[in-house]
């Protein structure tokens, strides 16, 4: 049986009225503080604590949030703080808090981390003594200050959300709170507490009383109800409790009907950031406000991308109705006066292309959206996104090699990815993407061919970077040892510098180092790295690279400014002009062109013409598919 959020507030019979009233008063008397610790960006509130606090408030609990990330950002400087948040390869943020969390049990007492992982330290920290000062002085001061602030509110329960580099900071604050107020109950949750990670933390970290593994929307209030009613929370599904080892009564019940979720409450974030000067008096409209329109991944339900570990046990896709989402965004916009709205979804709900975005456009709303999308969007769908306020997307391109994309189970081809980049440039949508390599079954030519293609695309948004694919817990590459056999696999190296030796790193790690049996040497990727760097450098030039199609009555001109210092102009009359135009909107095959253009030439003759466009660098081909690379001039 599915349990919805509305079940928590179901109407009670007359017999239960007195009991219900008493329970409501007890709920109101319990004080809960939900905390977002570093290292997450101070530029946006935490949707995790914002949503759970709204759910608790809806159920009459006195629940508030506390964005401790803002306090530390203010202490060390916003630019340096944000650089620590964006650092992913090594867990520098967790290391900075490890001494405060684990004391003498912290494995790196002499700061060897800063020597052994020097190349991974953000470049804004030129002096390693500054990081040592943050670790030894600023963080203890930060913990003492915010723990006193939190406990001054006489809280009964302190909850922590933990994703990526929030773990050890949360442990450090929970430890500080427990020393000052042993009776305060600590509760942990978030992506880092999925099994078996959560079990390992609860079993070994003394300051953790309970954790919720999986979606907590329902389990959180059930947990609080158990405390209010004097029952053991250990019997609630999803709750991990300390005992003889740990107890766990099965997975949480995920939300099946997204429309029942309340609007997240970000009041404390905006009040604090205003007070501490993070926002400033005139820039609220530029703060990124997170919202959630869906959970899970509809593509992952069909075919899980081999490297993705984002959905532990909650791949099932669920989305809000467009009308409910519009109401929620209206409420967030009115309350917080920001127009930058960031979807935290894994993937865009396709139905929004038919109703949600057209309605935003029709209403003339000034929303500025970020969404993660699948990259197989047509020109007209990109236009729909643009008209509906989408300014930034993350389409999961990952590669411009069809063979590599097949190894990833992405379900798209390279030429489709390039076409998305073209129409996003035309409609002024910024594309964030990376290049991944190191997949079993790849060949060196897959990357030399990509590097050559990259050199033709400098008029489009470059990748933000590239690197060997990470091995993440919950990904098919990690779980399916038969399909992805490894010579060796172990937790990412920095964990050993952070967690005490009594903790099992194999159980708590999310990132792993490895070597596949089919291992590609680093030399295969030298050329593509250089191509990415050159593409990025050209994108920063004062004269931006471009390639524009100008349409005449019986001819076309392609103005090629991909090298702004040597602009070329190609002119083609009919029938070449029509052939090039016919490959503009989407990738097409020679047979399709023969049919649509009613050409009298053979397919071989047409292919020679198309390949001549390719040789001139103004068109690409992917197998028998061809795509013009120029972007239409705007009228």
Average the pLDDT over 564-591 and give the result: 95
Give strand ranges (E) for 56-151. Answer: 62-67
- Burial pattern 222-241, b for ≥16 Cβ within 10 A else e, equals bbbbbbbeeeebbebbbbbb
364 pLDDT band (50/70/90 cuts)? very high
Give the pLDDT score at 244: 53
Query: Tokens in use for 53?
Result: 């606090």
pLDDT in tens, 155-169: 999 999 999 999 999
In DSSP terms, which residues pair with 323 in a beta bridge?
none
Q: Evaluate if residue 192 carries a pLDDT over 80.
A: yes
Once rounded to an integer, what is the mean pLDDT over residues 292-312?
A: 93
Is pLDDT above 50 for 389? Answer: yes
**Residue 56 in tokens:** 């608790």
| Distance, CA of 150 to CA of 635 (rounded, Å) | 58
Average pLDDT, the chain: 93
pLDDT digits (tens, 9 = 90+) for 495-544: 999 999 999 999 999 999 999 999 999 999 999 999 999 999 999 999 99
Predicted confidence at residue 14, as pLDDT, reads: 27
Q: What's the helix, strand, coil split of the chain in %, to 5?
A: 45, 20, 40
Pick the CATH number of 282-473+510-537 from 3.30.70.141, 3.40.50.300, 3.40.50.720, 3.20.20.70: 3.20.20.70
Give the pairing of strands 31-36 and 62-67. Answer: parallel
Distance, CA of 430 to CA of 505 (rounded, Å): 38
Q: Which alpha helices (DSSP H) does 59-91 contain, by range?
A: 68-76, 78-86
Q: What is the mean pLDDT of residues 586-615?
A: 93
The residue assigned the tokens 């998305």 is 420
Question: What are φ and ψ of residue 186, in 5° steps?
Answer: -105, 135
Dist. CA 432–CA 201, nearest whole Å = 34
Residue of 483, 441, 422, 478 whose CA lies nearest to 630: 422
Burial degree of 270 (CB within 10 A; 0-12, 13-18, 19+): buried
**pLDDT for residue 6 is more than 80:** no
Which of 422, 429, 423, 416 is closest to 380 using CA atoms?
423
Instruction: Please enumerate in sequence order all residues whose Cβ is within 8 A of that of 132, keeping only pairs 6 or more positions apart, or say none.
Output: 111, 114
Residue 8 pLDDT level (bands cut at 50, 70, 90)? very low
pLDDT at 312: 74
Compute the Cα dihedral for 622, 628, 629, 632 and give only its sign: negative
Q: Are 571 and 587 in contact (CB under 8 A)?
A: no
pLDDT digits (tens, 9 = 90+) for 164-184: 999 999 999 999 999 999 999
For residue 301, pLDDT over 60 is answered with yes
Domain spans, the chain = 5-258, 282-473+510-537, 546-632
Q: pLDDT band at residue 9, thresholds of 50, 70 and 90?
A: very low
Task: Write the CA distances from 600 to 14, 540, 593, 596, 603, integer angstroms.
Answer: 83, 46, 11, 12, 9
- State pLDDT tens for residues 16-53: 334 467 888 999 999 999 999 999 999 999 999 999 99
Other CB atoms within 10 Å distance of the CB of residue 277? 11
Name 550's bridge partners. Answer: 557
∠ CA(374), CA(380), CA(386), 5° rounding? 75
Report the distance separating Cα 538 and Cα 463, nearest Å: 12
Residues 434 and 331: beta-carbon distance below 8 Å: no
Distances in Å between the Cα of 255 and the Cα atoms of 214, 226, 245, 278, 430 are 11, 20, 29, 34, 32
At residue 313, the pLDDT reads: 75
Closest by CA position to 342, among listed 329, 326, 356: 329
User: 245 has which bridge partners?
Assistant: 243
pLDDT in tens, 322-362: 999 999 999 999 999 999 999 999 999 999 999 999 999 99
What pLDDT, on the 0 to 100 scale, is given for residue 456?
A: 97
How high is the pLDDT of residue 87? 85
Instruction: Say which residue, 175 or 255, is predicted with more confidence.
Output: 175
Label residue 276 by pLDDT band (50, 70, 90).
confident
CA pair distance 366, 383, nearest whole angstrom: 16
Question: What does the alpha-carbon distance between residue 58 and residue 64 come to, in Å, rounded to a whole number?
Answer: 12
Is residue 226 helix, strand or coil?
helix
Check: CB of residue 289 under 8 Å from CB of residue 342: yes
Note whether 368 and 360 are within 8 A (CB).
no
Q: Which residues pair with 588 in a beta bridge?
A: 626
Given this model, what pLDDT does residue 286 score? 74
Query: Which CATH code is given to the segment(s) 546-632?
Result: 1.10.10
**CA of residue 108 relative to chain centroid, distance:** 30
Record the pTM. 0.93
Query: pLDDT at residue 10 above 50?
Result: no
Rg (CA), the chain: 27
| pLDDT of residue 5 exceeding 50 | no
């Amino acid at each position: 049986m599915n349990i919805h959020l509305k079940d928590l507030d179901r109407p009670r019979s007359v017999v239960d009225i007195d009991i219900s009233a008493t329970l409501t008063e007890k709920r109101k008397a319990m004080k809960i503080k939900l905390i977002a610790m570093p290292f997450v960006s101070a530029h946006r509130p935490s949707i995790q604590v914002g949503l759970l606090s709204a759910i608790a408030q809806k159920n009459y609990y006195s629940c508030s949030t506390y964005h401790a990330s803002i306090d530390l950002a203010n202490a060390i400087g916003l630019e340096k703080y944000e650089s620590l948040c964006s650092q992913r390869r090594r867990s520098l943020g967790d290391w900075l808090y490890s001494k405060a969390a684990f004391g003498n049990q912290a494995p790196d007492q002499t700061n060897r981390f800063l020597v052994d992982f020097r190349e991974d330290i953000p470049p804004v920290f030129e002096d390693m003594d500054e990081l040592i000062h943050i670790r030894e002085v600023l963080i203890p001061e930060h913990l003492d200050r915010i723990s006193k602030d939190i406990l001054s509110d006489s809280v009964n329960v302190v909850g922590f959300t933990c994703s990526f580099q929030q773990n050890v900071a949360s442990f450090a604050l929970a430890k500080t709170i427990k020393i000052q107020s042993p009776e305060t109950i600590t509760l942990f949750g978030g992506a880092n507490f999925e099994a078996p990670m959560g079990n390992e933390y609860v079993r070994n970290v003394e300051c953790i009383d309970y954790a919720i593994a999986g979606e907590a929307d329902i389990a959180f209030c059930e947990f609080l109800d158990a405390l209010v009613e004097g029952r053991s929370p250990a019997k609630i599904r999803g709750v991990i409790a300390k005992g003889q080892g740990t107890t766990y009564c099965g997975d949480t019940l995920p939300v099946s009907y997204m429309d029942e979720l309340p609007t997240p409450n970000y009041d404390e974030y905006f009040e604090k950031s205003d007070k501490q000067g993070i926002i400033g008096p005139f820039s609220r409209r530029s703060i990124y406000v997170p919202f959630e329109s869906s959970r899970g991944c509809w593509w992952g339900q069909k075919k899980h991308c081999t490297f993705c570990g984002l959905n532990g046990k909650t791949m099932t896709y669920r989305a809000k109705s467009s009308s409910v989402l519009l109401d929620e965004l209206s409420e967030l916009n009115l309350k917080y006066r920001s127009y930058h709205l960031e979807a935290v979804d894994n993937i865009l709900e396709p139905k929004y292309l038919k109703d949600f975005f057209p309605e935003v456009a029709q209403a003339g709303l000034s929303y500025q959206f970020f969404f993660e999308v699948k990259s197989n969007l047509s020109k007209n769908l990109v236009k729909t996104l643009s008209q509906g306020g989408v300014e930034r997307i993350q389409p999961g391109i990952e590669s411009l090699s069809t063979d590599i994309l097949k190894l990833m189970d992405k379900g798209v081809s390279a030429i489709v990815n390039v076409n998305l980049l073209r129409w996003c440039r035309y409609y002024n949508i910024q594309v964030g993407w990376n290049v991944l390599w190191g997949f079993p079954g790849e060949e060196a030519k897959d990357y030399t061919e990509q590097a050559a293609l990259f050199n033709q695309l400098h008029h489009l948004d470059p990748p933000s970077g590239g690197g060997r694919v990470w091995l993440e817990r919950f990904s098919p590459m990690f779980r399916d040892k038969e399909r992805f056999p490894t010579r060796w696999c172990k937790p990412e190296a920095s964990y050993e510098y952070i967690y005490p030796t009594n903790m099992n790193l194999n159980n708590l790690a999310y990132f792993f180092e490895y070597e596949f049996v089919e291992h590609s040497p680093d030399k295969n990727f030298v050329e593509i790295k250089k191509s990415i760097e050159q593409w990025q450098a050209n994108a920063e030039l004062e004269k931006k690279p471009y390639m524009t199609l100008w349409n005449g009555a019986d001819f076309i001109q392609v103005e090629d400014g991909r090298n702004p210092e040597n602009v070329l102009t190609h002119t083609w009359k009919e029938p070449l002009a029509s052939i090039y135009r016919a490959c503009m909107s989407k990738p097409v095959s020679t047979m399709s062109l023969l049919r649509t253009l009613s050409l009298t030439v053979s397919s071989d003759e047409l292919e020679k013409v198309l390949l001549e466009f390719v040789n001139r660098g103004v068109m690409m081909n992917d197998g028998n598919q061809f795509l013009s690379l120029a972007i239409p001039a705007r009228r």
